[in-house]
Amino acid sequence: MLVRAGIGKLTIVDRDYVDWSNLQRQQLYSEEDVLLHLPKAVAAKTRLEKINRDVIIEAIVQDISSSELLPYKNVDLIIDATDNFETRFVLNDFAVKYGIPWIYGACVGSYGITYTILPHETPCLHCLMEMIPFGGGTTCDTVGIIAPTVTQVVSYQMVEALKILVEDWDALRKELVAFDLWKNEQTKINAKWLNTSTCLTCGTNPSYPYLTKKSLSKIAVLCGRNTVQIRPAQPKFVTIIDYEKHLAPHVKNIKTNPYLMHFQVNKHQIVLFRDGRVLIHGTNDIVEAKKIYHQYFG
């Protein structure tokens, strides 16, 4: 929608590659992207450049932390299309600290929610939730997501994005919107009363807790993927061909592209990215994933 509208520059950051499970709800990708194991950011850039050649599109294949966000402190807008609250809280701290509007959006099953955050004018995400939501209840692991839910959340986000980009501030929606398409329900909540002076992000004495390294996990279970991601203790960029040579005597089915290497070991698909991240598919068990990681990557 942004590219078709003629936005000047779009930066897409994503840590994952296109999987079969994405195709039922994400309209940018094709079966060919899955077969090629293309990173999502790269596949999106390729597709979008065919839609509007006048838009500058930057594709970045990496996880997000405070240090990776710093080059983007002068952007006009951040749109949340993430799948976990830890990353959202990093975005929230970053956006508020540098005065960047951002649009929160999330969905699971047939339920969706979205809210527009203007730093120092509206309550931030930290005000709304105070802490990362509990792990129980419905998640995309347990109930999945239907495509219309995604489309509805994105539609709300894009309308707000266009208002911000043309600086029509008075037209911005003031409420948090939540809906359940299956149950034909919609709720609007006036969130301005949720602002608190003691908020660690937008309060009187902000500390931006999620911009500190100690707040960030190095290991994460990816929502709905039966997959564990492991990041190296220190950021590093690896040479895929060197790892391929190292593992070739031990693993027979290694495949590579310019962005990643992947191979199968028993029930586990293992993927190494150039930024040193590794995805261990076939498990949600962090202990098991760490064992596999150390077996092949030291």
- Residues belonging to the active site: 140
Which residue is listed with tokens 């959340």? Answer: 153
In whole angstroms, give the CA distance from residue 38 to residue 23: 13
Instruction: Spell out a b/e string for 207-217, using b for 16 or more CB atoms within 10 Å of the CB, else e.
Output: ebebbeeebbe
In whole angstroms, give the CA distance from residue 111 to residue 236: 38
Q: Which two tokens stand for residue 200?
A: 């660690």
DSSP 15-68: S-B--GGGTTT-TT--HHHHHTT-BHHHHHHHHHHTT-TTSEEEEEES---HHH
In whole angstroms, give the CA distance from residue 214 to residue 217: 8
Query: 238 and 276 in contact (C-beta within 8 Å)?
Result: yes
Candidates 181, 192, 117; CA nearest to 150 is 181
Instruction: Give the three-class secondary structure for 225.
Output: coil
**Amino acid letter for position 262:** H
Half-sphere exposure for 162 (CA within 13 Å, toward CB): 11
